[in-house]
Structure 1
Amino acid sequence: MKLSDLKTALYSLKNLTFKLEDGTLVPPHFHLTEIGVISKKFMDCGGLMRDEKVISLQLWSANDLDHRLKPEKFLSIIDLGEEKLNLTNLDIEVEYQAETIGKYDLSFDGKSFVLKSKTTNCLAQDACGIPQDKLPIAKAQTCTPGGGCC
């Protein structure tokens, strides 16, 4: 989801809810504790230099059970981020505490924002020498000895 998509969805809502892909709700008393731009410069396993930028939102829950963040307040935080951080229409990544800090992609189902699991991938599969029939079939597949994982 891009920043413009997030803002459009927020304008359509009266209440703000986030949930995980399995339907587990982020506690309704969550806070938006950070908005920022994460820039990553890296080299893939084929030696190609790459640059990525995403807008990062951090959700956090405390023991203030009566706290409720409304769409208008969420938008005002984004507006301030656009002003102070010069945010552009980048993809959104959400940090949320589970067993450890999880990073999620974001989608919208028409009613709630959905934190979608992120996966890793080899960006230079042609350089890894993995035959097409040995590439992972589904994101749930785990690596096993001789299974063809990078």
Structure 2
Amino acid sequence: NLGARFVGPGMATLGESATQAAHPSLAPPSLAAKPLVSLSTERILQRRSESFPMTLHRLLADLEAAGASHIATFVGQGDAFLIKNPKMFEEIVISDYFPRMGSFGSFQRQLNLYDFKRISYGPHRGAYKHSLFTRQYPLLAREMKRTKIKGKAVKKIE
């Protein structure tokens, strides 16, 4: 499902941003009428501990299953993925799958930290690729390592 949420009165529904909740005509038809699913505490904790690449793989599978490949999808032989509609991806998908990520720029930074390479030419220009990130072998993404960020430690002056 597309980012199941707990929904109360006046809150956005599944696959719908707060803006779309206020303006239902903005919701894409393929995402507008999805049923809500309550997540168990166990599933919520599992998702919290899921790595960025595993979450990304799950969201691409969910988009495909929901018929929302117009937002993002695997391309070619499944060895790269393309975000076809960055604005919709940021407004609908990022908030559901990466709640602590504020923007598309933050998402791109995570791609860089996990060493995804952007395809700069050919029919899949703009897609992202990593040797351990493929449609056919989702569990390979568990082996992906994030580049460590150097801290802002203060040097001691002797």
TM-score w.r.t. the length of structure 2 is 0.24
Would you tell me which structure has more strand in proportion to its own residues? 1
Larger Rg computed on CA atoms: 1
Would you tell me which structure has more helix in proportion to its own residues? 2
By relative contact order (CA 8 Å, sep 6+), the higher-ranking structure is 1
TM-score w.r.t. the length of structure 1 is 0.25
